[in-house]
Amino acid sequence: DVKVTQSSRYLVKRTGEKVFLECVQDMDHENMFWYRQDPGLGLRLIYFSYDVKMKEKGDIPEGYSVSREKKERFSLILESASTNQTSMYLCASSFVPTYIYNEQFFGPGTRLTVL
Amino acid sequence: AQTVTQSQPEMSVQEAETVTLSCTYDTSESNYYLFWYKQPPSRQMILVIRQEAYKQQNATENRFSVNFQKAAKSFSLKISDSQLGDTAMYFCAFMKHSGGGADGLTFGKGTHLIIQP
């Protein structure tokens, strides 16, 4: 079974702190993604990566950065956390999409609260 | 850019009934994938069913089936013989075929489905 794990289920931080959210996958997937989930808004793509040290901006990258030093690990960084970044953060991974393999596998999510 | 619209924020049906969740999308792409994901109260998102746009035949997975109308850009999910365990948020999602690279999913806002005993 594919497993995508996230370092914390719940996290509470203060405004202005630097926050790291970690994601690890064990299926040798090339692609990894960070989404943000807010009630009434669904999930929105923050950043994704298609290879080690490669990254692409998603729909809402402002206030975030990412790091992918190893294939299995993808980190989301909030350089200076703000209250409007309080949200559920979901990591996902996948193979390079083909007509057969195109599913993204999700982690359990990290509920981040910024006070 | 793509958009995905789910017009039903919440639905409630009795156990064993059939329920249909609607989804429409807008895109200029000709080659893409559509998905329905389920997020139970435990929060782990899982894939329910997928459809490749080039396929005419509607996808089916046990009690779950889709009605894919490409010209109308509609992708509804039908759940037959609904069960209590089907209670969850359901998200419709779109992904364009990027020809060997990567692309994220564009999600709808979700439908909260409640199955009543």
Q: What's the whole-number average pLDDT of chain A?
A: 93
DSSP codes joined into one string, B10-78: EEEEETT--EEE--EEE-S-SSEEEEEEEE-TT---EEEEEEETT--SPPEETTEEEEEETTTTEEEEE
Residue of A nearest to B109 (CA): A42
pLDDT tens digits for range A59-104: 999 999 999 999 999 999 999 999 999 999 999 999 876 666 678 9
The per-residue pLDDT for B56 is: 85
Which residues, including other chains, have CB under 8 Å from residue A65's CB and lie 6 or more apart? A47, A76, A77, A79
The per-residue pLDDT for B68 is: 96
Residue of B nearest to A107 (CA): B44
B103 and A97 within 8 Å at the Cβ level: the answer is yes
Is residue B100 over pLDDT 80?
A: no
% of chain B exceeding 70 in pLDDT:
97
Is residue B85 over pLDDT 80?
A: yes
**A window 50-109, beta carbon within 8 A of B:** 50, 56, 58-59, 88, 90, 92, 94, 96-97, 99, 102-104, 106-109
Q: What's the whole-number average pLDDT of chain B?
A: 93
Interval B13-28 mean pLDDT: 97
Task: Using an 8 Å CB-CB cutoff, list chain A residues near B95.
Answer: 97, 102
Is residue B51 over pLDDT 80?
A: yes
Interval B6-29 mean pLDDT: 96
Is residue A108 over pLDDT 90?
A: yes
Task: Using an 8 Å CB-CB cutoff, list chain A residues near B33.
Answer: 97, 102
